[in-house]
Structure 1
């Protein structure tokens, strides 16, 4: 019978996703059939699954760590923010609705059945389900109707391990304070705790560890030192999107307000001869960039206005005039065209706006979302490219005659007459080592990275890190069978 245990955080960004990934690989290395699960996630960095839906990128990485295909049941509720107060709600991989935060709070309890249904299905062929919470159970103002933390743990009968982040300080208060604010029933679900992101001599925290155990009555599962190879693993949270110093070839990436699916940057960040520089709002696009990469966006029209508000449209024109190269992916591709039309008001008020005008194409937003894992051919070389498509809208125009990808006989993408400005809808293409090497060579930079191998090696290193500093045996002992409540 499958067992389960849940990793919750004493705060946001304590490293839950990475711990679950490391535990998944450690359990898989022990010969266990393991599956990751996150009842509710919030991220615009999504992955397409084998069953044709979308889930949070972190759960896709955890599935890779578990050595099993990513499936929509691993993240049954995904929130994709579109504005500061509203988000697109994805349920079991498919668009459910677009709701304001207050409206979602009212609908949230009705989604509990979907999370339990997915959880139950995962348990049918699994030894252990590693459940990841969201945010923190200490946010007791969100407890009513909760499906992300203790609400799910209660409904599914799942025990909890609480993780604190010592790097941000105050970790004793994080752990002890969480117990103090929880209702007794919720606090009773916590069976142990762990500390993450420790720097320096771990023995210096022995007294702190003992004090947490004395005050809470919970056993410690360990103190995890800082994992230095974390940057090699694809990040899900936009807050983790950082500059990656490398070689002389510079890729400038404007940080869009609704940036999405920025995993396209990870393979470039890993290249030793490439520097990836994230350009924050208020800063110009650097004049010494070799390539400006405009990433995906959850709200193309809003991000196009944001792009112009930073003056990046002027910088981009100057970059192209100097002989620089440009790549737009998905929303970035749409922005590079002549117009973006939204006749049905999918992203906001119906209308049409002028694009950046560097590709002779036009985009019309359509309500049907295209979701697929995709195999393509890079036309200039005939090389294979693998990726995924996840977009609204159709893009057509004269520059599509210079499509540089082929998907099952269908031309994909567009290029300017001189070939220095390109765009396409295929995410993940830089993860294909052959394509990335060829593209960088065309731009004058060498490639030395085997990306898939690099990620797998980092997951193995993370598993060793977990086994060395985290009591995996105790975790498995504390896990409980998936019961009838689930």
Structure 2
């Protein structure tokens, strides 16, 4: 049994994708692999079979390793619900809310639980591949750390450091990390790799040598730009900040980006469709002319509703509906479409209520236990498969016109009397090709994309093949003790 931790010189350097690719590559070699991330911060969550929440990336990594997701794979998950507050999920279950100011105190005791989860995975596998968070160079966060070197040293797991050459300054990032971290932390790092390289690898041979000379770390490979990575579910909202390339002649589906947008990977299947241009609308821009407006989930529905109005997007959405065009809301987006959303106990922010868009005759009250479960059923007469993660209950006249039914016959979602507006609590609703085909047929698009899960699986195989060619995988295994 062995373990290896991949840390990065910063956020979004590709750690999640690299770990997923290595999970698949090592699984292809016949090894039993388990992914692990001690602490994650993301509003894109996945559901385990036992009703727990983990980060979306760890669920993808579990798929890559060909095992079922487990709450042990991401024992601490922080879900931001305000600029300075996050919901704390420990081993899949809500444990409360933490403010940024008391995070250091709040994580006391969590390392022991993190190590217990790691120990269980280690006992199941030939190798555990561990993903760090952010960067170990954030030395202001080192005291009490459980995400990077604090975990690595406590668990005795060797580290490989990844740098991102696409953003520039990769030599300084790697060498600078060595310079600023504690010598005992630096000693945990056994090698480095460079990610997102474009061009002739020979041109960077001197760069690899310079990093190795200045750090003493082994150069383990130069990974080219992984085009297949765009087909994996995204976990980090930073991807929403990147403008999409214009695609003329396609049918537009638009989704506004609210500050606490959650589970926006629900929209990923639409990117598989050659006839669709998915437009993620940033703040400050009007919602464009579209065949369908889709409202994604939210970790703070009332706050995002206020933001939506401040942007004038409510006017755009109501005008879109008046023109006879459909609107679909998923989870928090479903709640926004109703007459009101009430948070009487201040679960997602200050206690109070907010008027909804009024396009569905339903009202939502945020209270009670969180619903976290995998679901299957039918909507628009065809199957879907997904999961629910939501607080509260939605009631009203339009619930008598459910969008569909769960496998046990329970009504799911709601539709307006005119049939143009629909809401659903099912994340992953559009993942199956048949379900997506039914939705796109409503806006005159002939769907051609595959089931999303099948496409993700194929992308993982492509990434694994590239990593086998461009990384010294045997050296990685040796460092891990396998």
Q: TM-score range by the shorter chain?
A: over 0.9
CA distance in 1, matches of 2:245, 2:314: 24
1:166 maps to 165
1:271 maps to 273
RMSD of aligned residue pairs (Cα, Å): 1.1
CA distance in 1, matches of 2:312, 2:266: 24
CA contact (8 A) 2:38 2:151 kept: yes
2:56 maps to 57
CA contact (8 A) 1:255 1:278 kept: yes
CA distance in 2, matches of 1:228, 1:341: 43
1:193 maps to 192
Q: Deviations over 1:127-156 (max 9, x none)?
A: 110000000001111111000000000110
1:361 maps to 362
Shift in Å, 1:454: 1.3
CA contact (8 A) 2:82 2:349 kept: no
1:100 maps to 99
Shift in Å, 1:102: 1.9
CA contact (8 A) 1:137 1:178 kept: yes
2:250 maps to 248
1:484 maps to none
* Partner-residue secondary structure (3-state), 1:306: helix
1:146 aligns with 2:145: yes
1:421 aligns with 2:418: no
* Partner-residue secondary structure (3-state), 1:193: strand
1:480 aligns with 2:473: no
Shift in Å, 1:443: 2.2
* Partner-residue secondary structure (3-state), 1:27: helix
Deviates more, 1:114-123 or 1:349-358: 349-358
After superposition, residues 212-223 of structure 1 pair within 5 angstroms as: 212-223=211-222
CA contact (8 A) 1:244 1:275 kept: no
CA contact (8 A) 1:193 1:221 kept: yes
CA distance in 2, matches of 1:291, 1:170: 41
* Partner-residue secondary structure (3-state), 1:162: strand
| Cα gap change, 1:460 to 1:445, in 2 (>3 Å) | same
CA contact (8 A) 2:250 2:275 kept: yes
CA contact (8 A) 2:54 2:77 kept: yes
* Partner-residue secondary structure (3-state), 2:430: helix
* Partner-residue secondary structure (3-state), 2:121: helix
2:301 maps to 300
CA distance in 1, matches of 2:202, 2:178: 24
After superposition, residues 280-429 of structure 1 pair within 5 angstroms as: 280-287=282-289, 289-378=290-379, 380-381=380-381, 383-407=382-406, 408-429=408-429
Residues paired across the two proteins, number: 477
Q: Which runs of 5+ in 1 are unaligned?
A: 482-486
CA distance in 2, matches of 1:12, 1:375: 34
CA distance in 1, matches of 2:288, 2:207: 46
CA distance in 1, matches of 2:364, 2:172: 51
2:235 maps to 236
Q: Deviations over 1:450-469 (max 9, x none)?
A: 12221111110000110011
Q: Deviations over 1:33-53 (max 9, x none)?
A: 101000000000000111210
Shift in Å, 1:351: 2.1
1:90 aligns with 2:89: yes
CA distance in 1, matches of 2:108, 2:179: 25
Deviates more, 1:297-306 or 1:321-330: 321-330
Q: Deviations over 1:59-94 (max 9, x none)?
A: 111111111111110000000001111100100000
1:14 maps to 13
Shift in Å, 1:472: 0.7
* Partner-residue secondary structure (3-state), 1:204: helix
Shift in Å, 1:244: 6.5
CA distance in 2, matches of 1:349, 1:472: 50
CA distance in 2, matches of 1:349, 1:312: 23
TM-score when scaled to structure 1?
0.96
* Partner-residue secondary structure (3-state), 1:231: helix
Shift in Å, 1:245: 5.3
